Amino acid sequence: MGGEVDLLKALPKTKRNLEARQEAKDPEVIRLSREYGEMYFDGPRDYGYGGYRYDGRWVPVAHDIIAHFGLKPGDRVLDVGCAKGFLVKDLVDALPGLEVYGLDVSEYALMHCHEDVVGRLHLGSADTLPFPDDSFDCVISLDCVHNLPRERAKTALREIQRLSGGKAFVKVDSYHTREQKEIFESWVLTAFFHDFPEGWLKLFDEAGYTGDYAWTIIS
């Protein structure tokens, strides 16, 4: 089994207006957010990102991923839940010769991807990855798997394992205390499955997932 590791420590911390989100959150907002279209990526903050634009924040993360997995030119990397492909771009730039691809369920995100990754991104779901066994040297999935119900999340983890042989990293929504869980539930829009770390570790075990992992904690 892999271990807990924070490969996103270099990302700037996001300040969330929890009270405003809780007041604005309703079934229609959640429905539109889960379409992963324009409202989710580039609409008002109530619906998701509030404008998802390239700003270079993934550059140090790309370097940390390359170092952690010992990647080299010619290796193949897949970003599951790649959105507009910003991390894909930064991985390509960080290590010339690295073959990096992305997959996302959002046609809107792929149609509005960074121009440098046109042709590298695929439309699809994390639980049906359209690639052969062991076809990647590293698979990453950041804040994506929890957007599926538990059984489909398990399948997605199996798919990531199938493609990577365990050389992988996933980051998912979690919490350490009841208070953090309440904060999370007042904020979250898209996650179908979430749990304490021990619940996630149980799911990893059920899926046969042996890669690395980290938790997204809202506070």
Task: Let me know if residue 177 belongs to a domain.
Answer: yes
Task: Let me know if residue 141 belongs to a domain.
Answer: yes
Q: Which tokens in the block code for residue 53?
A: 């634009």
d(CA 87, CA 120): 12
Q: What mean pLDDT is predicted for residues 22-29?
A: 72
Task: Let me know if residue 9 belongs to a domain.
Answer: no
Task: Let me know if residue 198 belongs to a domain.
Answer: yes
Give the range of the structural domain holding residue 85, as residue numbers without chain letter: 18-216
d(CA 113, CA 35): 17
> Residue written as tokens 């021990």?
198
d(CA 140, CA 51): 23
Q: Say whether pLDDT at 23 is over 90.
A: no
Q: What mean pLDDT is predicted for residues 105-133?
A: 97
The CATH number of whichever domain residue 103 belongs to comes to 3.40.50.150
Q: What tens digit of pLDDT does each residue of 136-175 get?
A: 999 999 999 999 999 999 999 999 999 999 999 999 999 9
Domain count across the chain: 1
Provide, for the chain, the percentages of residues in helix, strand and coil under a 3-state DSSP scheme, each rounded to the nearest 5: 40, 15, 45
HEC assignment per residue over 29-86: HHHHHCCCCHHHHHCCHHHCCCCCCCCCCCHHHHHHHHHHHCCCCCCEEEEECCCCCH
The pLDDT, as a whole number, for residue 16 is: 55
The pLDDT, as a whole number, for residue 218 is: 84
Tell me which amino acid residue 132 is. Answer: P
Which of the given ranges, 1-15, 32-46, 73-87, has the highest pLDDT on average? 73-87
Which of 165, 167, 194 lies closest to 182, judged by CA?
194
Tell me which amino acid residue 158 is. Answer: R
Cβ neighbours, 10 Å, residue 8? 18
pLDDT band at 195 (very low <50, low <70, confident <90, very high): very high
CB 132 within 8 A of CB 175: no
d(CA 201, CA 207): 10
Q: Say whether pLDDT at 176 is over 80.
A: yes
> Residue written as tokens 């079934």?
27
Task: Let me know if residue 87 belongs to a domain.
Answer: yes
The pLDDT, as a whole number, for residue 12 is: 86
Which of 142, 43, 126 lies closest to 86, judged by CA?
142
Task: Let me know if residue 206 belongs to a domain.
Answer: yes
pLDDT band at 87 (very low <50, low <70, confident <90, very high): very high
**pLDDT > 70: what percent of the chain?**
94
Task: Let me know if residue 5 belongs to a domain.
Answer: no
> Using alpha carbons only, what angle is made at residue 172 by residues 104 and 158, rounded to the nearest 5 degrees?
65
What pairing do the DSSP bridges indicate for beta strands 138-142 and 168-173?
A: parallel
Task: Let me know if residue 1 belongs to a domain.
Answer: no
